[in-house]
């Protein structure tokens, strides 16, 4: 499948804002049931991984500002894909701090 044909096919399937990111291949956003995924390494068969964001605006910011090194910016919740699954430790820490404050404890 040629690049332009692939892009049209992916857009038909619901992928948005498709762009090439150095070292990550074709990337874009995809709306999942509860999150927006910044999807990486997309091809005609599938994708290599995704970073899940609770807000589409955060995922779009990350997609447009990421240079492909390390993890993308912003408050992604979880990575799923090649190499397994992992949570964003900064997001997990923020969640734990907020939860502790709501129940009247200290961090």
Statement: residue 94 has pLDDT above 90:
no
| Strands (DSSP E) found in the chain | 16-21, 25-31, 36-40, 49-53, 78-81, 84-87
Q: pTM (2 decimals)?
A: 0.83
Statement: residue 50 has pLDDT above 60:
yes
How many beta carbons lie within 10 A of that of residue 27, not counting itself? Answer: 26
The band of 98, judged by pLDDT with boundaries at 50, 70 and 90, is low
What is residue 2's predicted lDDT score, i.e. its pLDDT? 81
pLDDT, mean over the chain? 89
* 2-34 residue pLDDT tens: 889 999 999 999 999 999 999 999 999 999 999
Burial 35-44 (b: 16+ CB within 10 A, else e): bbbbbbbbee
Each domain of the chain, given as residue ranges in start order, spans: 3-102
């Amino acid at each position: 499948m040629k690049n332009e044909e692939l892009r049209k096919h992916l857009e038909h399937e619901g992928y948005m804002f498709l762009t090439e990111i150095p070292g990550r291949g074709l990337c874009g956003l995809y709306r999942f049931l509860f999150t927006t995924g910044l999807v990486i390494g997309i091809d005609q068969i599938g994708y290599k991984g995704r970073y899940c964001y609770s807000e589409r605006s955060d995922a779009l910011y990350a997609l447009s500002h990421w240079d492909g090194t390390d993890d993308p910016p912003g408050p992604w919740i979880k990575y799923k894909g090649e190499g397994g699954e992992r949570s964003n430790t900064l997001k997990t820490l923020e969640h734990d701090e907020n939860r502790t404050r709501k129940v009247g404890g200290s961090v």
